[in-house]
Structure 1
């Protein structure tokens, strides 16, 4: 495991001072599906969105591993899972690709707003007909002089109803395969661009989700992120960070859940003994610990390989699979350990289950991850 230095520890502890405020009314807000603008104001003040970005844009200039370390602390300390997800989505969806692939003009115009948290970000990839098959996307962008004209729709867009900036992936060459997709940075008030109403969902309810519609939406050619036809290169870079950042938050959430279950099992007595003394309960908690540590190790090890420039296709898929499934398994175990109390909304544990299920779907479904690993093994 990594030995964190004093600066890394202090940074995580400093941002931990915001966690209680981030967590306020998390059960009630989840019940109503409310995105809290007051909390987002606190997010801006905390500076957490600025973690991985260069100081010239107002960022904290932290490397990949340090950013993950602090985001793990966010998961451990903040009980509003939807807010956590909106934070990592903003970082990854527009901030990461603009800093890596954006032109100097794009960086100058947008990065200070993104880094400050003044502009909430979202990325638009999935379409109703395509699902996980991104190559089947039907959204088109046709060149017309110094502009591209977008037509089509996107679905399952996290942060959609509240976002200011959208990284939209569209086909610029219908028969071009992976080389026919381009990434465009689109502002919310662009003519021809409509944001659908929030869609009710199972979990992560404080992170709103919607569809997007493009009807002859004209985008200046200067809003292309990367190069025309290079959208999948942008997306690959983004998805690696999305998995590392969002799922290390889940590791922090699992750490909090483990601590809570240990404390409860020691205090709760049944038949004259703490329930921790019963092997059936103790084994559940031990399994939680094993799954937590396995997920943590895979994510950090994969991040270290990525920093070294190694091929992490298989590692990333395994890390995503392990962490998302561990999050589901440990959340269900926590409900069982708490018994009837765990089933009650006020304890927040049933919410954890609903939130955890989402992780098996977003960032590439777990079924897709199995396919990816099989392909790397030469099985398909």
Structure 2
């Protein structure tokens, strides 16, 4: 494995980090369409998507590297998360599994930022247990009729399209789940208002209600019954490339901590001269580099077509749990200032916390790892 970056990718990394850092601070409660178009202009909404539809055609490793740059530069992790979820949980299933007419209609709009997409799988009784979905899809001629409620759709309140998972054959378990592409204006589709949440606040999330919603069979993504596999494939993208943004967050946070440790003086000397501080920062660097290398290894294997289930889960756990730990250390290092919203330190902790939950909890990842190790 060779992780040396060519000059063009390194240049793009630096450009994304620098431009995202210069974006004005969020004034509205949620991200705006203007901010979304900035993401598209930087190519962030189409990094792994085929060039024929306006994407960049990158593999997992290059995509992860550039999403890290977004997390490094942007102070708004809600926007970073929203863009990544749009790309990896919504656009990639369409790109990899939909029929050509649907790809041609949808993907250019997702790459350009004209459309925002939301992934609709979670339900009140089906979070980690996706085999317990209650939303149904009943075939009726050339259509499917969908009924059900999705409970936590990131981007949902503002999304133009949704990737929806529903039970098309309840007798087949996970083999009876199918995936569909629904447009917001479809009769029977109703998106609920945004829910208040502690983390990733600028990314609106809410319910999606489907009542006798007719969807053309041509808007099914993949074959009937292939939804569970499509979802798991999208999770490989999320658990690597979306989580890579948190490597950027850790890098940004560590840089701030090092500057603070060098400049903050107590008892007539910089606090960084105390081993209690310097050793914590050394450990933070170890956590970041270990998480980064685990991620790159997982992405490299995905790009080679190798089985990477164990590697993806290891990377997801390492990044998410290390991000939380690093943010906690930063709060301690900054002391009283660390809990003030104006410094932005406590915000990084809040934004790090859900990373151990979304895209499969840490507990789920450890179960996957155990199975991959033969237990």
> Residue 350 of structure 2 is aligned with which of 348, 354, 379?
354
Report SS of the residue matched to 1:207.
Answer: coil
Distance 2:58 2:307 in 1: 22
Aligned to 1:329: 325
Asked if residue 13 in structure 1 is aligned to residue 14 in structure 2, the reply is yes
> Residue 163 of structure 2 is aligned with which of 163, 167, 173?
167
Asked if residue 234 in structure 1 is aligned to residue 235 in structure 2, the reply is no
Distance 1:113 1:18 in 2: 23
Report SS of the residue matched to 1:34.
Answer: coil
Give deviations 1:122-144, integer Å, cap 9, x for gaps.
11111101221000000000000
> Residue 56 of structure 1 is aligned with which of 34, 52, 55?
52
Distance 1:313 1:197 in 2: 36
Within a 5 Å distance, the mapping from 1:155-234 to structure 2 comes to 155-234=151-230
Q: How far 1:356 moved relative to its partner?
A: 0.5
Aligned to 1:375: 371
Q: How far 1:112 moved relative to its partner?
A: 0.8
> Residue 276 of structure 2 is aligned with which of 276, 280, 285?
280
Q: How far 1:94 moved relative to its partner?
A: 2.0
Q: TM-score, normalised by structure 2?
A: 0.97
Asked if residue 69 in structure 1 is aligned to residue 65 in structure 2, the reply is yes
Asked if residue 95 in structure 1 is aligned to residue 91 in structure 2, the reply is yes
Aligned to 2:25: 25
Distance 1:11 1:71 in 2: 11
Q: In the comparison of the two structures, how many residue pairs are matched?
A: 374
Asked if residue 2 in structure 1 is aligned to residue 3 in structure 2, the reply is yes
Gaps of 5+ in 2: none
Distance 2:21 2:262 in 1: 25
Aligned to 1:261: 257
RMSD of equivalent CA atoms:
1.3
Deviates more, 1:50-59 or 1:10-19: 10-19
| Kept after mapping to 2: 8 A contact 1:158/1:207 | yes
Q: How far 1:21 moved relative to its partner?
A: 4.1
Cα pair distance change 1:361/1:34, threshold 3 Å: same
Gaps of 5+ in 1: none
Q: How far 1:177 moved relative to its partner?
A: 1.3
Q: How far 1:17 moved relative to its partner?
A: 4.2
